[in-house]
Amino acid sequence: MTKRSHKALIIGAGIAGPVTAILLKRAGFETAIYEAFPYSNGIGGGLQIAPNGMRVLAEIGLADDIKRGGSICESIDFHSQSGTALGSVNRDMERRFGQPSVSMRRAMLNEAIVDKAWSSCVEVHFEKRLARIEDRPDQPIVAHFTDGTSAEGDFLIGADGLHSVVRRHVLPDGPTPCDTGLLGFGGFVPRSLLEAAGAGPSLSMTFGQTGFFGYGFCGPDANNGAMCWSTQPAHGIDAAAFRAMDQAALRQHLKRFHTGWHDPIPQLIDALDEIIVTATLDVATLPTWSRGRTLLIGDAAHATSPHAGQGASIALEDAYRLVRALEDEVEVGTAFQNFERERRPRAERLVALARRNGNQKREFSRTGAWIRDHMIKLMLPLNPRGQDWIYGYDVRDVSARPQTSVRRDRLAA
Ligand SMILES: Cc1cc2nc3c(=O)[nH]c(=O)nc-3n(C[C@H](O)[C@H](O)[C@H](O)COP(=O)(O)OP(=O)(O)OC[C@H]3O[C@@H](n4cnc5c(N)ncnc54)[C@H](O)[C@@H]3O)c2cc1C
Q: Could you tell me the CATH number of the domain that includes residue 55?
A: 3.50.50.60
Q: How far is the CA of 283 from the centre of ligand 1 (A)?
A: 13
The Cα-based distances of 393 to 99, 261, 335, 396 in angstroms read 11, 36, 21, 9
Residue 183 Cβ inside 6 Å of ligand 1? The answer reads: no
Measure the CA–CA gap between 354 and 16, rounded to whole angstroms: 19
Domain assignment present for residue 187? The answer is no
Helix (H) or strand (E) holding 23: helix 16-26
Give the residue, out of 47, 56, 103, with the most ligand 1 atoms within 8 A of its beta carbon, to mutate for a pocket test. 47
* Whole-number pLDDT of residue 344: 98
pLDDT value, residue 398:
57
Kindly state if the Cβ of 315 falls inside 6 Å of ligand 1: yes
Could you give the CA distance from residue 93 to residue 391 in angstroms, rounded to a whole number? Answer: 8
**The 123-125 sheet, strands edge to edge:** 123-125, 30-34, 7-11, 155-158, 294-296, 290-291
| CA of 299 relative to ligand 1 center, distance in Å | 6
For residues 131 and 145, is the Cβ–Cβ distance under 8 A?
yes
CA distance 388 to 390: 5
Q: DSSP letter at 398?
A: G
Domain-embedded: residue 198: no
Q: Which residues neighbour 292 within 8 Å (Cβ) at sequence distance 6 or greater?
A: 135, 333
How far apart are alpha carbons 169 and 290 in whole angstroms?
Answer: 9
Considering the domain boundaries, does residue 109 fall inside one?
yes
On whether residue 236 sits in a domain, the answer given is no
Residues 6+ positions from 316 with CB-CB distance below 8 Å: 15, 16, 19, 49, 52, 53, 56, 57
- Residue 274: inside a domain: no
* 261 domain residue, yes or no: no
Q: Residue 332 and residue 295: Cα distance in Å, rounded?
A: 10
Residue 273 near residue 187, CB atoms below 8 Å: yes
Rounded (10°) angle between helices 311-328 and 332-359: 160
State the total domains in the chain: 1
Give residue 348's pLDDT. 98
> What is the model's pLDDT at position 400?
52
From 187, 228, 232, 185, select the one nearest 208 (Cα to Cα): 232
CB atoms within 10 A of CB 125: 13
Ligand 1 within 6 A of 156 CB?
Answer: no
Q: Is 158 in the pocket of ligand 1 (CB under 6 A)?
A: no
Edge to edge, the sheet with strand 141-145 lists 130-134, 141-145, 150-153
Q: Partners of 10 in the beta sheet? A: 33, 157
Nearest C-alpha neighbor of 364 from the set 209, 182, 257 = 209
Q: What stretches in the chain show pLDDT beneath 70? A: 1-5, 398-413
Dihedral-angle region of residue 378 (phi above 0 means left; psi in -120 to 50 means alpha; beta otherwise): alpha
* DSSP H or E stretch at residue 335: helix 332-359
* 308 Cβ closer than 6 Å to some ligand 1 atom: no
* pLDDT for residue 255: 98
Cα(15) to centroid(ligand 1), Å: 7
Range of the domain at 33: 7-177+282-412
Please report whether residue 60 resides in a domain.
yes
In a domain, 191, yes or no: no
- Ligand 1 pocket, residue 12 CB under 6 Å: yes
| pLDDT at residue number 40 | 82
Task: Please enumerate in sequence order all residues whose Cβ is within 8 A of that of 369, keeping only pairs 6 or more positions apart, or say none.
Answer: 80, 81, 207, 208, 209
Any ligand 1 atom below 6 A from CB of 310: yes
Residue 402: the pLDDT is 43
Beta bridge partners of 34: 11, 125
